[in-house]
């Protein structure tokens, strides 16, 4: 079956522009996560949804970052007024949502801010 799908795979934006990154989770997965991965580092948690409810956004680095999942399936991570330090790979993961179920990751969106 299809895995987690993210688009675009690559995004280049000028500093100050807004960007939107999309995640299509595995069908039937209740939980959805966003992570940020800097070069040479492990992923860092940004935010978590259970269905359409955003239960944790403690990892979002600033109020320029906003995530939504209005129908409990596809999710969008939006970054407003991008800055160079936002350059990273943004990973989306989904899981069944039951206790102790592994998160399955997409291949990410590599964001470069010029």
Enumerate binding residues for other proteins (CB under 8 A): 4, 31, 33, 35, 40-45, 47-48, 55-56, 58-59, 91, 93, 95, 100, 102-108
In the complex, least distance from residue 87 CB atom to other proteins, rounded to whole angstroms:
16
Contact 65, 78 (CB under 8 A): yes
How far apart are alpha carbons 60 and 44 in whole angstroms?
A: 10
55-59 long-range contacts (CB < 8 A, ≥24 apart) are none
User: With respect to other proteins, which residue has the nearer C-beta, 55 or 114?
Assistant: 55
Backbone torsions φ then ψ of 106, nearest 5 degrees? -85, 180
- Cβ neighbours of 76 (radius 10 Å): 14
Specify the residue, 59 or 72, whose C-beta has the smaller distance to other proteins: 59
Q: Which is nearer to other proteins, 70 or 102 (CB)?
A: 102
Least distance in angstroms from the C-beta of 16 to other proteins: 28
Which lies closer to other proteins via its Cβ, residue 17 or residue 87?
87
């Amino acid at each position: 079956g299809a895995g987690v799908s993210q688009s675009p795979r690559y995004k280049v934006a000028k500093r100050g522009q807004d960007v939107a990154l999309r995640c299509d989770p595995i069908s039937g997965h209740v939980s959805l996560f966003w992570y940020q991965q800097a070069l040479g580092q492990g992923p860092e948690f940004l935010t978590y949804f259970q269905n359409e409810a955003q239960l944790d956004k403690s990892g979002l680095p600033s109020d320029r970052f906003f995530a939504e999942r209005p129908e409990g399936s596809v999710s969008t991570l939006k970054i407003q007024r991008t800055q160079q330090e936002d350059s990273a790979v943004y990973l989306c993961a989904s899981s069944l949502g039951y206790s102790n179920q592994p998160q399955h990751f997409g291949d990410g969106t590599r964001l470069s801010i010029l």
